[in-house]
Amino acid sequence: MRGDSFLGIPYGWPLVVAIIGLIVVLWMAREPMRRLLWQIFFTTGRVFGRWGLWLGEHGKAARLSCSEKIAAHRAEELIDRMLVLEDRIGKRAVKLPQEAGPIIARLDSSTHQIDRVATSLAEINVEDAAERAFRAALPRMEEGRGLHKIEKNMAQSTARMMQERLAPIRPALSMLKTEAPRVIAASDKLGKIEQRFTQGVDTVNKTFADFEETLRSPDRIKVAGKQSIIIPWLIALLITAIALSGVFLNFFLIERPMAEIVGEGARIGGIGLPTFAAMIVIFLEFVAGVVLMDAAGFTRLIPAFHSMSDGGRRIMFWVAFAFLAAFSFLEATLAIVREQIIENSAETSRLAASLLSPELAATAQAAADQAAAADPSALATEEAPKGLQLATVAQLILAVLIPWLLATAALPLETIIRNTVFMLQIAGGYGLLGLSFICKTFAVALKSIGLFVLAVYDLIIFAPLWVERKIKGTVAGSIDEKPKNPRAEKPQQRDPPDRKKDPDGKKDKDRERELQQAS
């Protein structure tokens, strides 16, 4: 009757006795069991907590170190920018006398003219002039007859005399009319010059402020956060991908004709020798491009160029330029050779297919001789359609251009390498922090599980514990008046998991606190 038993123990009294026996055994083995559970959960949790702490510290340190590097890179970029701005302002300062000199001279001249005119105008007494004019006009007025005529004559005479009197003022007024717009224009020009300078200075000041902040700000992560990493990296990646497509194109152009130079038949690491040689040529072109760009100062990929003199860099630039030109010529030659190889191969296949057919057996010899004697390139030229020739020209153009385009791939390479390193470092830092979080979570989980298991254990042996406490309480009550023996208490103090001796769970709480501190 297997259904009437639990683990081979029949239901009923035998099972009850077995459970009670088990509870008693668990109660008797509570000390070693508690230690064991403690070791399993709390000690392991503490180890994980330590690991979490260690990983967290290293993650933070890694992130800080990376931020420091990014900030240093930002500082370098700002220095470069400031140098460029300084150079620009310097050039503008050199041009300034040429720009502002004529304006100032004209302004000066106009100012003098206006001053002179203003002085002469100030010296004129208009009331006196008017009175004099009127007086001068009176004798003529007196010659007039009749009131109407007198009035008319008076007005005309006064106007004429006033005109005569004011005649010296007119040149001054016209001069003012001429000079005033000039002054305004010169003032505008000066204003624009000042505005441009102010803008330049503001940019320099802002860059310098950024530089100062980059150098001195204690919040390195914030400083590093201002530096854009992913967008330049993506742009550089896009440009490189386009350049790589050019590499593939180049590769297919030169792979076949390379067999004419290095021969066929061998494989290096599973790659055909012409393919390998084509790859090497492309790599060499790329290296020449990197050297060219570094020597020209566009990139800083090769540290040796930093400490090189300008003369040395110029030499390296021209050497790299010469190499690229040579590669360009080589590729152009290979483009022609490629076409010849294809035509030769096609002609050979055609001969193989046409020769020695049963019907043409008699004429096969003549055809073979003719084919062997014929100049392959001449034959190809005769038979090649015009489209093919155009294709050869197109290949030539590509072959000449691609090495130079490949050289430009060195430009984004610096950004890709540098920003990839930054991103990997950032990812590494966050990875460590993530691991730290996982370890700490695991530590807390282990601690909680440990407490739960201990609580369950106490629950299982609750009855014997209660009885024990009652008995010991009675005994303790009877011996309370006896002097305490310190030696007898010592072993109890060395027994941390025993809740009987630590009824409030103080030691457990201490350890828990310790674990929390560790995590």
Partner 1 sequence: MMRRILPTLAGLLASVSLAACGLVTSTNRSVFVLFDASGTYVKSVPVSARLANLMVAELQPGDWIGASQISSCSFSEKEIVLQQQLPETPSLADQTKRAVFTKLNDYAASVKSTKFTDIHGALAQAAFELRQRPEAARYIVVFSDMIEDHAPKCDTSKVALDLKGITVIAANVIKTNPADPEAYFQTLKDWESTVTEAGGVWALSTSPDQLPKLVTAQ
Residue found by looking up tokens 């209660």 in the block: 466
- 267 sits near partner 1 (criterion: CB under 8 A): yes
Near partner 1 by CB under 8 A, which window of 1-9, 212-220, 350-358, 385-393?
350-358
- 381 sits near partner 1 (criterion: CB under 8 A): no
Provide the CA 40 distance to its chain's centre, in angstroms. 47
Q: Which helix (H) or strand (E) holds 9?
A: strand 9-10
Q: Binding mask 270-299 vs partner 1 (x if CB under 8 A, - otherwise)?
A: x-x---------------------------
- The least CB distance from residue 377 to partner 1, in Å, is 9
The sign one gets for the Cα dihedral 200, 204, 209, 214 is: positive
Three-state SS at 271: strand
Task: Considering the complex, state which of residue 237 and residue 261 has its C-beta at the smaller distance from partner 1.
Answer: 261
CB 341 within 8 A of CB 350: no
- 260 sits near partner 1 (criterion: CB under 8 A): yes
CB 208 within 8 A of CB 215: no
Backbone angles phi, psi at 495, to 5 degrees: -115, 80
User: What residue type is assigned to position 359 of the chain?
Assistant: E
Give the per-residue SS3 of 456-479. Answer: HHHHHCHHHHHHHHHHHHHHHHHH
- 347 sits near partner 1 (criterion: CB under 8 A): yes
- Give me the torsion for CA of 490, 491, 495, 501, rounded to 10°: -70
From 356, 456, 463, 475, residue interacting with partner 1 (rule: CB under 8 A): 356
Near partner 1 by CB under 8 A, which window of 55-63, 80-88, 92-100, 254-262?
254-262
- 376 sits near partner 1 (criterion: CB under 8 A): yes
Task: Considering the complex, state which of residue 274 and residue 450 has its C-beta at the smaller distance from partner 1.
Answer: 274
Residue ranges in 55-94 that form contacts with partner 1 under rule CB under 8 A: none
Task: Considering the complex, state which of residue 266 and residue 322 has its C-beta at the smaller distance from partner 1.
Answer: 266
From 47, 136, 351, 388, residue interacting with partner 1 (rule: CB under 8 A): 351
- 378 sits near partner 1 (criterion: CB under 8 A): no
From 139, 146, 218, 265, residue interacting with partner 1 (rule: CB under 8 A): 265
- 372 sits near partner 1 (criterion: CB under 8 A): yes
- The least CB distance from residue 378 to partner 1, in Å, is 14
Residue found by looking up tokens 């990376």 in the block: 66
Task: Considering the complex, state which of residue 165 and residue 256 has its C-beta at the smaller distance from partner 1.
Answer: 256
Task: Considering the complex, state which of residue 374 and residue 424 has its C-beta at the smaller distance from partner 1.
Answer: 374
Joined tokens for residue 20: 């009670």
Residue found by looking up tokens 């160029």 in the block: 305
- 269 sits near partner 1 (criterion: CB under 8 A): yes
Provide the CA 43 distance to its chain's centre, in angstroms. 44
From 301, 341, 405, 451, residue interacting with partner 1 (rule: CB under 8 A): 341
- The least CB distance from residue 265 to partner 1, in Å, is 3
Q: Which long-range contacts (CB under 8 A, 24 or more apart) does 79-85 make?
A: 79/211, 81/207, 82/204, 82/207, 82/208, 82/211, 85/200, 85/203, 85/204, 85/207
CA 374 to each of CA 5, 336, 469: distance values in angstroms, whole numbers, following the listed order: 103, 19, 117
* Calpha distance 186→198 (Å, rounded): 18
From 126, 268, 427, 463, residue interacting with partner 1 (rule: CB under 8 A): 268
From 7, 122, 167, 353, residue interacting with partner 1 (rule: CB under 8 A): 353
Task: Considering the complex, state which of residue 184 and residue 374 has its C-beta at the smaller distance from partner 1.
Answer: 374
Task: Considering the complex, state which of residue 228 and residue 348 has its C-beta at the smaller distance from partner 1.
Answer: 348
Q: Which of 235, 430, 415, 250 is nearest to 334 (CA)?
A: 250
Total residues binding partner 1 (CB under 8 A): 34
* Calpha distance 491→356 (Å, rounded): 110
Residues that bind partner 1 (CB under 8 A): 256, 259-260, 263-270, 272, 340-341, 344-345, 347-349, 351-353, 355-358, 361, 364-365, 368-369, 371-372, 376
